[in-house]
Chain A
Amino acid sequence: MSINIAQLIRVSMVFIPLLLLAGFYCIMVSRNLIRTLIGLEILTKGVTLLIIVAGYVTGYMAVAQSFAITLIIIEVVVLAVAAGLIVNVFRHTDSLDRRNLQNLRG
């Protein structure tokens, strides 16, 4: 493969896992529910970048762009539903702390 493509793969194989790791860490460690959503968004951006790089490297740009567009639309709906859940949790418990959501145990 040409030098450009190989270099691009190596570089993206460093940065994309960094983004995914950061998003995952944020979801695991954060106590604020909205911060969890931010972590989810960072994860989504990492995966979008991965899709685009995969498309660019193979030349299947059109397919990759279709995937990315569909992914973005679906993520918006998921985020809207998650935001709705968070707002309702706040109406019940008056706080956004994840530790308040530990009612169901066992």
Chain B
Amino acid sequence: MPSLLILVPLIGIIALNLPLGKFMKRLSFLLTLFFALLQACLVLIAPAEFWRQETVDVGGLLTFNLSADPLSLVLLLAIAIVIFATLLVGSETLQDDNKQFNFTNLLIIALIGMNGIVMVQDLFSLYVFLEITAIASFILISLHKDRDALEGAFKYLILSAVATLMMLSSISLLLMTTGTSSFSGVAVALHAGQNYMVLLAVALFVGGLFIKGGLVPFHGWLPDAYSAAPSSVSVLLAGIVTKTTGIYTLIRLVMSVFGFTPQIKAVLLLVGAISILVGALAALGQKDFKRMLAYSSISQVGYIILSLGTGTPLGIAGAVFHLFNHAIFKTQLFVNAAAIEEQTGTRDMDKMGGLAARMPVTGGTSIVAFLSTAGIPPLAGFWSKLIIIIALWMSGHYAYAVIAVLASVITLAYFLSMQRRVFFGTLVETFSTIKEAKAGIVLPAVILAVITIAVGVLFPYILNTFILPVKSLLG
């Protein structure tokens, strides 16, 4: 019954907003925590029949066309983990009770939106849930209503609206040429015949998804939105929103609907490679901690798209694995950024130094995260990057493989520079009395670091239970 993952949080929101007194406001935190943990447990232990498409009416009235295959399950797990981390960070960093309540409710709405995105089987329903997630993100970014956040939210809104209108035009053109909007219907009709109208529709849709995913050259909104948002919202945005709305949809549509035509593969390879390089080089010159992490996100997402562009089962498996790993370690890094911003009050790396002496847990977990990002064994990031580079080499794209390896070196460089500037070196005078971040921020950081290490060390087990089933989707 995949629709439970959407209906239960919706009932939760309605219940939270009934006028039943102050008790409801305190309940909101526990309720959202419950939803996130429930989702993680369901992904890990529910049997396969649970996730098949519903054929039975729910309560006799509602029939929803939702189903979850192994690719969606990976995303559902990532969504649950990131929502958990965001909730904990938010509860520590937002002081005002009213703001906390609004934040938690909007977080549940974002959860509903993202669960919907990974489970729908229809292009137009995909649009509807994309918009739900986007609106929740805009409001969350501008939660504190400070000037920079409003600027980031407005830029994101305009670009996101243009992207969704491109996708809608594509859906209408596909309606005109194929008569349907469901994934399977469009896929069948596209295999039958290709004409210029269909090509235009595919190009428009893929272009819209590139904007949503923050790929070069449509990445203009991403650094502003990530760095100006409140720290907990940055965790949500960087950890899962861009990935679900842009990258997962791209993987799903190219795999199941549009097919791996040579043109699509060439475009994916090119855009992926450019994103890797531009993101990595831009990250080198940043002073603002979160802005550097934002450009690093652009670079890592480039890896995912590059791997997708090979079109081979190994490449796609590598892309999905890197997607999951990136969700984990990017969330980790932004949780650390939240800890630093909370304790020192600044994001300027030039003003920091030697913080590891006073904030050992934050420093330690950030080392784990950055080693994973740069692809150092035995952490999780090493395995996914290895798979990507092998897939590129095996499918003959030698130049792109070399670019991927070189960019890894640049990634190592800017992260080492960040570590040196922020955590090591002599302790700056102004920050000599700060303490480690509060439990609510330290706990998700530790859990995420443990997941990174575990996925890396237990890689053979992960290979069998998660990656090969994803590969089997492609026959």
Chains A and B come from one and the same complex = yes
Partner of B154, one of A33, A44, A106: A33
Judge whether B176 and A58 touch: CB under 8 Å.
Answer: yes
Q: How many A-B residue pairs have CB under 8 A?
A: 99
B149-175 interface bits toward A, Cβ cutoff 8 Å, 1 = contact, 0 = none? 011111101100110010011011101
Judge whether B145 and A88 touch: CB under 8 Å.
Answer: yes
Judge whether B150 and A70 touch: CB under 8 Å.
Answer: no
Task: Mark the stretch among B220-228, B387-395, B464-472 that contacts chain A.
Answer: B220-228
Contacts of B153 in A (CB 8 A): 85
Q: Secondary structure at chain A's binding surface: helix, strand, loop or mixed?
A: helix
Instruction: Tell me if B22 counts as interface (CB < 8 A to partner A).
Output: no
For A33, the closest partner residue in chain B by CB is B154
Give the distance in Å from the alpha carbon of A33 to the alpha carbon of B286 in the complex. Answer: 29
Q: Secondary structure at chain B's binding surface: helix, strand, loop or mixed?
A: helix
Interface residues on B, range: 35 or more
Most central of A27, A51, A55, A85 by chain B CB within 10 Å: A85
Instruction: Tell me if B342 counts as interface (CB < 8 A to partner A).
Output: no
Judge whether B162 and A43 touch: CB under 8 Å.
Answer: yes
Judge whether A101 and B179 touch: CB under 8 Å.
Answer: no
Instruction: Tell me if A18 counts as interface (CB < 8 A to partner B).
Output: no
Judge whether B154 and A82 touch: CB under 8 Å.
Answer: yes
Contacts of B326 in A (CB 8 A): none
Give the distance in Å from the alpha carbon of A52 to the alpha carbon of B85 in the complex. Answer: 43
30 CB < 8 A contacts A-B: A20-B169, A40-B158, A47-B165, A50-B169, A50-B173, A51-B171, A54-B175, A54-B176, A60-B179, A64-B172, A67-B175, A77-B135, A78-B131, A81-B138, A81-B157, A85-B138, A85-B154, A85-B157, A89-B150, A92-B146, A93-B147, A101-B154, A101-B155, A103-B148, A103-B151, A104-B148, A104-B223, A106-B223, A106-B286, A106-B291
6 closest A-B pairs by CB: A54-B176, A54-B172, A104-B224, A101-B151, A50-B172, A92-B147
Contact residues of A with B, CB < 8 Å? 20, 24, 27, 33, 36, 40, 43-44, 47, 50-51, 53-55, 57-58, 60, 63-64, 67, 70-71, 74, 77-78, 81-82, 85-86, 88-89, 92-93, 101, 103-104, 106
